[in-house]
Structure 1
Amino acid sequence: MSAAFLRTLRGSHVMVARVRVCETFQTGLTPEGTELPIIGGDVVLDGSADVRGSLDLATNGEGMWPDQATDLLAPYGNELFVERGLRYGNGRTEWVSLGYFRINTPEQDVVPDGPIRLTAQDRMAGIKEARLLAPKQYASLTYTRGEIMADLVNEVYPTAVIEWADTDIRDAYVARAMVAEEDRYAFLNDLVTSAGQIWFWDYRGVLVIKPPPDPGSPVFTIDHGRNGVLVEMSRDLSREEVYNAVVATGEAGDTTLPSRGVAYDDNPASPTYWDGKFGKVPRFYSSPFITTNEQAFSAARAILLQSLGVPYSVTFGAIPNAALEPFDPVKVNYPFQSRSRSSQTETHIIDQLRIPLDPDGVMTGSTRKQLLVTIGQVS
């Protein structure tokens, strides 16, 4: 996404969207496919969901109802590649991909040629559905995390591209014999979480494994006023699902205690400060993949980063920026008082986004306020 895109987003512009049906598994920003007309719809990205991305799309149904398994809109493996972008005054179009979504259900309220509504999910849905027919065992010090990930993912998607941000984690051998029972997704999620990482299928159709983004480096400003993108905003305070410490442990050996790591909110200015009035609200996580105290703390810290933040959330409506994602830190700028020219700016972490595919739609989302993060460690 270019700087011109971000500048144009804040002024008058022409929004465009495009959806292509892909009949083969593809990766990248230029897949081959059949373009569908768009009547309306949106993409929802939810950082707290197992399947992060979902699509709801309405398209022209004239002669398009899938009577055969090989038809374009049949729910037997075809994917929708979705983009939203801007058309500049010189006629050039810049696209931002929202990812690949496998068709789940076509629906038609008016037969035979009424609009068809499609629901679809990103590729993690396939990982969740593909439960193992028999357990798979991985001997200790024989397989790396990357090899285990590739083995179980490529059984579902043989040509999938897997991208690790930290190759040291990818290439580290698992120090304990592991058995994947029947839940493929749960086993892989544990492999990733225990290493202090998050994972998701990104806008290119790549399975990305990386640490949570640094909350101290906002990637965009959602602001009000002239050249701003903020349309509306509401807020609430809640203690629900807010923790100020995470205890991560491994499994004990025959003669050894389990590895253990504790991360807690150590910022005295934070309302969720561990020794403050908020109280002590720990969360517990255990994984057989954790074999050292260092691994335990890394996992505890990453989990804490995903739940840490002032229990003050904002729900906003804004001019859509399709490049934003869950866990992105953003600045939120809004009026200090009604009819006041003064404003205040806060750093928030995006939890969820709804990105419309029609020109009249407003991007909505929810965030949680983030202060300077100081995480303590119990030795």
Structure 2
Amino acid sequence: MILVGDAVRHAAYERALCRGHGYESRLDVFYQGQQIDSLSLADDLAGGRVEVTARNRERRTLRLTAAQRRWPVAAASALSPYGVWGQAWVTITAGTVRFPDIPVWAGKLLTTGRVRWSGQVTVTGVDPMWQINREPFEVLRPAPRGMEVVSAILMLLQEVLPDATLDDRTGSTATIPAATAWDAGAGSRGKTIDELAASIGAELYAEPWAVAPGGQFVLRPVPTLLDTPAWVLPDGLESVVEADTQLQSGATVVNRWIVTSERTDRPLIREVVTDSDPASPTRYGGPMGRLTDFYSSPLISDNGQARAAGQAKLARSIGSARARTVRVIANPALEAGDVIAIGVDGEAPEYHLADSFDVPLSPDPASMSISTRSVGGTE
């Protein structure tokens, strides 16, 4: 969850979502690192949304509709797809109170289109990981032996975005093994970063705080249902839930991961990570059976690292047993991977991980559908 001010201010913001409130948005645009314009919902923007997903390297996609007079006439025009970057913000108001602006997207404008006489221009934008993915290794590249995985990830990011920063929340000190090479080819940089993060049980994504030549990235352990809920959806008179769809499925559950790393210069590393919680409906050897999958990476250098990678895989694979989609009053501060507590009609709250949702850029409608997953089922 993006913190809206300090803890007290954020709590007031969440209360405001349950009541009548205002919803504003704007798009700041940049060219070669300098801000060149700012477009507001009141004057230039007809609406749009930011699509957010926890499943892709590129987490946030902008889809925007603007006034036709904003059709770009030069490479440095505000909505030009030729090197212009942007940052979208949403602001919530409650009476005379104006809460701090919330960043919902930052990245590169990718396409701009129009249908003549329609009065509108349509724009799509991608987050900074798009640029990382599109600047690959052009030749086979030896990996820096002994460099910490976290440092290697930052190095690969800064080769594309020189002012990029990395918020490391893993505390990992794992290093890159000897005789490791990174393959060349389309998408090779993004794939390598994914593999480095997975080798320490982590995920990497861009936060919507900075534009080129910067970029603000987070490396964190893969979220689990044991994390503290970022948003408790209120029930009763202040409920923000407008619709609720639930699905239980065992089709994609994996309750045991066998993680290996096999290289010629060292003994085999093998770790087994299992859902062994006796209260878990997806437990290994329980009613669902022994559902095993395998993961191997030459980047894993010890058993502790293998265990962390397996735990990250397990967190995702047992969390697919129960899916739930809730349409709620839009909360632009929500992040993909946040744990939310959902309680409807007086039922006990369920903890779910937010997998995907769209943040609206206009108050019509100011609601969003959140696709979530959890552990569930009955015995």
TM-score, L = length of structure 1: 0.88
Alignment of 1:86 onto 2:92? yes
Q: Distance in 2 between matches of 1:139 and 1:47?
A: 29
Instruction: Decide whether the 8 Å contact of 2:249 with 2:320 is kept in 1.
Output: no
- Superposition deviation, residue 177 in structure 1: 2.7
Compute the displacement of 1:164 (Å).
1.1
What do you get for the CA RMSD once the two structures are aligned? Answer: 1.9
- Distance change in 2, residues 1:289/1:25 (3 Å): farther
Residue type of the partner of 1:334?
V
Distance (Å, rounded) in 2 between the aligned partners of 1:163 and 1:312: 31
* Pair 1:35-2:38 in alignment: yes
Which residue does 2:137 correspond to in 1? 132
Structure 1 residue 14 displacement after superposition:
0.9
5+ residue gaps, structure 2, are 5-9, 211-215
1:280 aligns with 2:280: no
* Equivalent residue in structure 2 for 1:8, among 16, 20, 28: 16
Matching residue within 317, 320, 328 for 2:330: 320
Matches within 5 A, 1:227-238: 227-238=238-249
1:376 is matched with none
Cα distance in structure 1, aligned partners of 2:55 and 2:342: 21
Offset from partner CA, 1:166-221 (integer Å, 9 cap, x none): 3443xx43232321222111111101110111110013231110112352321112
User: Does residue 360 of structure 2 align to residue 356 of structure 1?
Assistant: yes
Code of the residue aligned with 2:78 in structure 1: it is L
Matched, 1:121 2:129: no
Measured against aligned partners, the alpha-carbon deviations of 1:70-125 in whole angstroms (never above 9, x if no partner) come to 222221222220111212322534321113021111111225x7211111111111
Q: Give 1:208-227 correspondences, 5 Å limit.
A: 208-216=218-226, 217-227=228-238
Could you say what secondary structure the match of 1:306 adopts? helix
CA drift of 1:310 comes to 5.7
Alignment of 1:156 with 2:166, yes or no, is: no
Task: Give the alignment's TM-score, normalised by structure 2.
Answer: 0.88
Residues 91, 99 of structure 2: 8 Å contact kept: yes
Please tell me whether residue 173 in structure 1 is matched to residue 184 in structure 2.
Answer: no
CA distance in 1, matches of 2:250, 2:235: 28
Change (3 A) 1:18 1:70: closer
| 1:186 matched residue in structure 2 | 191
Give the C-alpha shift of residue 258 in structure 1: 2.0
- Residues 333, 343 of structure 1: 8 Å contact kept: yes
Equivalent pairs counted in the alignment come to 354
The 1-side partners of 2:65 and 2:181 are apart by 43
1:321 to partner: Cα distance: 1.0
Checking the alignment, whether the CA contact within 8 Å between 2:13 and 2:99 is kept in structure 1 is no
- State whether structure 2 residue 155 is matched by structure 1 residue 147: no
1:46 aligned partner: 53
Q: In 1, distance between residues paired with 2:246 and 2:344? A: 12
